Structures are given as C-alpha cells and as structure tokens.
Structure 1
Amino acid sequence: MNKVTSSSLRLDSIDVFRAVTMFLMIFVNDLWSLENVPKWLEHSKASEDAMGLSDVVFPGFLFIVGLSIPFAISNRRKKGDSNVLIIRHIAERTFALLLMGIFIVNYENIAEEAMVVSKYVWEIGMVIAFFLIWNVYPPNPERKGFYTALKVAGYLLLVGLALIYRGGDPENPSWMETHWYGILGLIGWSYLLGALTYVLTGDRLAWAIAGWLFFVLFNLASFAGTLDFLDPVRKHVWVVGSGSMPAFVMGGVVASVIYRTGRNAASNTFLVILIVFGVICLAYGFGTRPFWGISKIRATPAWVGICTGISLFAFAFLFWLVDLRKLRNWANVLNPAGTATLTCYLIPYIWYAVITLAGISLPLYLRTGLVGLVKSACFSLLVILLTGAINRIGIKLKI
C-alpha cells in the first residue's frame, strides 16, 4: 500500500465515534441510580459467561484512543517535534491520567467516618483541582503568572486532599493506594503502551499488526498458563489487563494505519477492510469463548476479540455514514463529548456530589424501568450540553 501524502488527514468519524461512546459511557455510569435495570445493559459478573452493553463501552473508548494516536503523533511530527519531545508528551499525558485515576479510585474506597470532611466535599475538591491543573488557559503572556498560580493551587489542593484522606476500614483506615488505578488510570497505561508502540512502528502496517498481535497473544498466553513462570514478577511489573486493554488500543492504531497507508483510503475499500478485520476478531472471540468464557472483569480473550470486532463494525458504520455519505449534522449536539472528552467525563462527579449534599433525589417512579432509562439518557445529554456551555466560557480540560 502507498502511504498517504498528508500526515494531517483527519477522519470526522473518529470524533463522532468518540462523542457517541462518551454519551453511552455517561449513560451506563448513571445506571447505578436506577431500579429494575435490564440485565443486558449492566456489567456482567466475573463468574458469568456473558457481556452487557456496559462491558462494551470501555473497550470501544480504548479502541478510539488507538484510532487517534497515529493522527496526533503524525501532526506533532509535521510541526517539527522530535521523538524525544513526542515521548515526553506521551509521558505527561500518562502521568495526568494515572494521577486522576488514582484519586478517583481512592474516592471510591473512602472511609467517610474516618474523614474530617464529607467524602462529597472531598470529591468536589478533587475535581476542582483537576480543572485548575489541566484547564486550557488562554495564551495571554500578561496573565501567564496568574495561570501558573492556578495550576500550582490545583496541585496543592490535591496534596491537601491526599493528606486528609482515609480509606478502607473506618476502624483501621489506610492511606491512599493504587488499587486498580481506576478507569482513567487504565486508559493511561493502555495509551502509554499503544502510543510508544506507534512511535516505534509508525505507519508501517506489518509492524503495527505485529504490535497488536503481541498484546492479543500476551492476553491469550496469560489465560492459557504459558506465562505462569512469570508469576514472581506479576505483582510488580505486568502488562495492564494482561494485554487486553493495550490490545484494544492497538486495534484502533491498526485501523488508522490501514487508512493512512491505503491507496484509496477514503473509499469503500477501507470499509470492506474494516468489516473483514471485524469478522476475524469476532471469530477469534467466539473461538476462545469455550475455554474461558466472555468476561470484562477477568479480561478474557473472548471479551477482547468480540469487543474489538464490535468496535470495528461501529467504526465502519460511522466511517460510511460520516466520511463517505457526509451525514454528520445529526451528531452536532454531541460535539462537546467528542472534543472535550475529559471535561465531559468529570462533570458527573461534581453533579452527584452536589445533589447528594443538597439532599436532592428524584422520586422512585422516575428512576425505574423504561422511565428511568430515559432519565439516564437525558442526564447523559445534559452533561454533554453543560460541557459545551462551560467550554464556551473558557473551561476545558486538555492533557
């Protein structure tokens, strides 16, 4: 295949895919507030050979992270950034995601009875600190010192929150721990591995596929027991999700590299390749299902294959609809979720904390069955609209 001539090529379908996925992520994250939620929408238990919608959304987001990596890194190279600068940027983004992830997962394990403040006050302070540190401040040299002070204040606030933190058993509380790094932390580790792999492989399709296969086969080998000899180091150094999560990222990287190196990239040819790729992943997923079942919590090979296949089919559909048919206006209302994703993800944390402190609760009939699902969908849309509104007044996170 011939490499495309412009490294700045961009697929609108990636932004739309990200926006739709964020809408679904906020929706499924709000299901905890409902009663009588259909099982097919929820997370499946670790002991079950099953998968609900909630188990598909996170892999889809990781796949989108991978889709974006080749375009983002190639644009940096076009601007003159060296590999050293690019790797530094990757490290900074990873650090930010890990730090936020660790704080969020510790909030989920907080022992409020042992705290000097309400856990909801602690939660609000945490999110405010994130905004102070990673907000996109205007490029105004005269106010640069003020903006730097705000960032420093954000870090100091996190330090203060860490000092007063107590978690675990209220009778014998512990300090902050990494636990499982939280969703943002898992994204951070997966992004780090996927981005570094692309820095090494570039738009060489065979090497990108090799990188993807490494993580897929690492995951398979882990379940097959082939890697048991590494158990002594597993506690200290291991590939996140036993290779499953970077496999999703690299699946997205491969899809983008196929597009970027295709002779007729913006055509039905790319669409067919995506579908064939998706069929292969589904075959792998269902082929390994009899051995370990489908499980997000255990990150089984079947979950990796099936969710990668679903992500490829979803991307293929949006590529056809948005980039080939040029039908994008329907997604305009979701734009903030595609361009200010981190802001969109964090807003619900403040929302839940504020309404809890205020003692606000919807009546049960608005949180039950179909009515409840409509309520969660409206909540997701409201968060996206609120994200757009605060973006317009200059509040937007970027790492």
Structure 2
Amino acid sequence: MTKVTSSSLRLDSIDVFRAVTMFLMIFVNDLWTLEDVPDWLKHSKAAEDAMGLSDVVFPGFLFIVGLSIPFAIANRRKKGDSNALIIRHILERTFALLLMGIFIVNYENIAGEAMMVSKYVWEIGMVVAFFLIWNVYPSNPDKKGLYTALKVAGYLLLVVLAVIYKGGDAEHPAWMETHWYGILGLIGWSYLLGALTYVLTGDRLGWAVAGWLFFVLFNLADFAGVLDLLDPVKHYVWIVGSGSMPAFVMGGVVASVVYRNRANQNGVGSAYLLILMVLGVVCLAYGFSTRPFWGISKIRATPAWVGICTGISFLAFAFFFWLVDLQKIKNWANVIKPAGTATLTCYLIPYIWYAVITLAGISLPMSVRTGGIGLVKSACFSLLVILLTGAINRIGVKLKI
C-alpha cells in the first residue's frame, strides 16, 4: 500500500467526500418535485423503524464537518492565530450559519398570502442578501469601501425581509421564530460544539475520543431516561439533537486526529484504512444493538440512527481515502469539485432556482418527474447546480464564512 506523505497533512479525499455528499444532498432535496419516489430514497417518518438514503446524507455531511475541523484549526495556528482568535472565528461562523438557518426555516413556514410581496420574491431577496454579506470579495484596497457597502446592504436587506415577514397562516400571521433552526442552523450548533471541543482537546486522541463518546452517551442517556431530571431546562438549554449531531461531527474529528497522529509513520495508509474500517464496524454494531430499544429514526435522532450513520460515514470515508489518497484515482471528481470547495454556494443556488422558475411559471411535464425518469431528472439537476456553482465561482462569486 502506498505511503501517504504530505507536509500539510491535507487529505484530498475529504474534499471529494464532501463533493459527493453535496451532490447527494441536492439530489434528495429535489425529490419533492417528483412522484412515485422509492421509499428507500425518502426520509422515513418519525414513527417508523426505518431509514432511507435521505436520512443518511445529513449525518454524512456533519461527519465531514468534523473531518475538516482539525485541519482548518491547525492551519490557523500555523498562521499564528491564538486560541482567542480561533474561538472568535468559530463564533462568527456559527453566527452566520444560525442566521442563515433561521431565515431559511422561516421561509419554509411563510404565509405568503399575508405578505406584501410574493414569498418567492422574499426567498430570492434572502439568498441575495446572503451572497452580499458572505461573498469572498477580491483583496483590492481601492474597492474596500464598495465591498463594505455591499455587506452592509446585505444586512439591511435581511432587516427589511424580517420586518415584512409573516409566518404561520394568513388568518393568524406570526413573526419569525427559531423553529428548529433549519439545516444550516443545526450545522452551526454542531460545528460550534465540535470545534470548541477540538480547541480544548487538540490532537490528543484520548481526549478527542472522550469528547466523541460524551455526545454519543448523552444521546443514549436521553433515550434511556437517565436525563429525565433535566426536563425542566430542556426547552431552554440543551445539546442539539440530544447529542446526536455533535456526535457525528466529533466522529469526523476523531477520524482526522487519528490520521494526524499517524501521518509520519511508515505504512500509515494501510493502518489508517484498517482503523477507519474497524471504527465503522464498531459504530454499526452499536447502532444495530440499540435498534431493538428505540428503532432507527432520523427525526427522533435515536441511538441506532447515530450509530448506523456514523458507521456508514467511517466506511464511506475509508473508501474515498483508499481511492483518492492511496490509489490517486481522483480525476473523475473534477466535474463535481465545486460542490466540495464551494459547498455553501452550492447549497443556496437551488433556493433561487426554484423561486425563479415558479415566478416564471415554468414546470416540467409529469412524464419527466415520475419514477426512474424523475430520478434521472433530479440527478441531472444536482449536477447542473454544481456546474452553475463552478461557473459563478469563476466570475468571482463564492460564499465563505
């Protein structure tokens, strides 16, 4: 097996894994436009003891967030950032994700007929504001004032959208609420806990594993009733997903810490691959052993869902590590590369797409939105979004928080 050597300890497999996961996320998020979608692709209902592909993608993405944290923080330390500056950056990223998540989840609960503008216009304005605020502007001192003005304009646009917002229903409209924070908000909370944990534990593997097990066991304890005494405060202060979501992140952190501790050893490729596979099998065993008690459910964030999805993530990463970093087979991923390097941009483009085609009255015939043909349509849509992301990146539009 090829020895992995890299002065920066960078793993190309992380970007490829992220790109594939993002492709799948856009794909499953487009399934709502189809008819006759196979159950194994859809989200399972809360009461069901089941799990579809849609229930696996988000945990995989959180796992990748964890994979990236040690490398990102190490890179900042290499540049001379203190822990205080790193924590400030973590808080800023969390704020951005929470803010975007709250706006998006409120869009999903919008009472369009009660507002002065179409909900689709509101949606477009929301995404435009995100781009104005978090776009990566060129390093041009002469235009610094312009770029600052654009960021301010983005925040002002969000304020206007918040002022005119009406949620709920037209008869009893309500203002914006946190609801469940949305996907980006959940990522924000999970990233915050995972990143702060890594700042404290660093590359000390034992402590990183302890942090991972804390969230896993917190989730297990909640379902076992051990934490019932905390019910009075649960509504006010709680770990997101009862520990499940930061557990995914910390699983990824542990995977990267293992690599960072072994990167300069001979035969690291073979040994690391084996470790990933063993961790994957252990997590699967944990998941299936807890399934008889509470079942598999993403919506309820059961221990079985946590264990099985973490196991799948370890094994999937093991495959990409073998394929991309050991076998050097990675050119195939160039077409979806923007999804791995401009993930936030890629995630937001569909919101504008759906709004624009709805306002324009464009609708595909049911014949291409049904069954297998419909699935091909959604796969093509996912690829199109990624290609659009690459195109706008090349003209200088790319979000980064």
Q: What TM-score do you get using the length of structure 1 for normalisation?
A: 0.98
Aligned to 2:205: 205
Is 1:358 the equivalent of 2:354? Answer: no
2: distance between equivalents of 1:224 and 1:265? 42
Q: 1:315 aligns with which of 307, 314, 317?
A: 317
Amino acid at match of 1:9: L
Amino acid at match of 2:66: G
Conserved 8 A contact 1:126-1:158: yes
Q: Residue 210 and residue 283 in structure 1: after superposition, are their counterparts in 2 closer, same or farther (change >3 A)?
A: same
Deviates more, 1:268-277 or 1:255-264: 255-264
Conserved 8 A contact 1:7-1:75: no
Three-state SS of the structure 2 residue aligned to 1:48 is coil
Q: What TM-score do you get using the length of structure 2 for normalisation?
A: 0.98
Aligned to 2:335: 333
Conserved 8 A contact 1:7-1:74: no
Aligned to 1:65: 65
Deviation at 1:352, TM superposition (A): 0.1
Amino acid at match of 1:137: Y
Q: Percent identity of the aligned residues?
A: 85
Deviations 1:57-108 (CA, angstroms, capped at 9, x unpaired): 0000000000000000000000000000000000000000000000000000
Conserved 8 A contact 1:222-1:228: yes
1: distance between equivalents of 2:134 and 2:335? 24
Amino acid at match of 1:21: T
Give 5+ residue unaligned stretches, structure 1. none
Deviations 1:136-178 (CA, angstroms, capped at 9, x unpaired): 0000000000000000000000000000000002101000000
Amino acid at match of 2:350: P
Pairs within 5 Å for 1:265-344: 266-344=268-346
Pairs within 5 Å for 1:181-260: 181-260=181-260
2: distance between equivalents of 1:151 and 1:273? 45
Conserved 8 A contact 1:259-1:265: no
Deviates more, 1:259-268 or 1:331-340: 259-268
Is 1:11 the equivalent of 2:17? Answer: no
Q: Residue 355 and residue 83 in structure 1: after superposition, are their counterparts in 2 closer, same or farther (change >3 A)?
A: same
2: distance between equivalents of 1:120 and 1:337? 25
Deviation at 1:266, TM superposition (A): 4.1
Conserved 8 A contact 1:211-1:250: yes
Deviates more, 1:214-223 or 1:4-13: 4-13
Amino acid at match of 2:347: Y
2: distance between equivalents of 1:172 and 1:21? 39
Amino acid at match of 2:308: I
2: distance between equivalents of 1:33 and 1:391? 27
Deviation at 1:6, TM superposition (A): 7.5
Aligned to 1:42: 42
The CA RMSD over aligned residues, in Å, is 1.1
Conserved 8 A contact 1:65-1:249: yes
Three-state SS of the structure 2 residue aligned to 1:267 is helix
2: distance between equivalents of 1:82 and 1:104? 33
Amino acid at match of 2:148: T
Conserved 8 A contact 1:116-1:164: yes
Amino acid at match of 2:229: F
2: distance between equivalents of 1:139 and 1:266? 39
Conserved 8 A contact 1:66-1:249: yes
Give 5+ residue unaligned stretches, structure 2. none
Amino acid at match of 1:112: G
1: distance between equivalents of 2:321 and 2:129? 37
Q: Residue 266 and residue 396 in structure 1: after superposition, are their counterparts in 2 closer, same or farther (change >3 A)?
A: farther
Please list every run of at least 4 consecutive aligned residues from structure 1 whose deviation after the TM superposition is greater than 2 angstroms: 4-8, 263-266
Deviation at 1:8, TM superposition (A): 2.7
Aligned to 1:377: 379
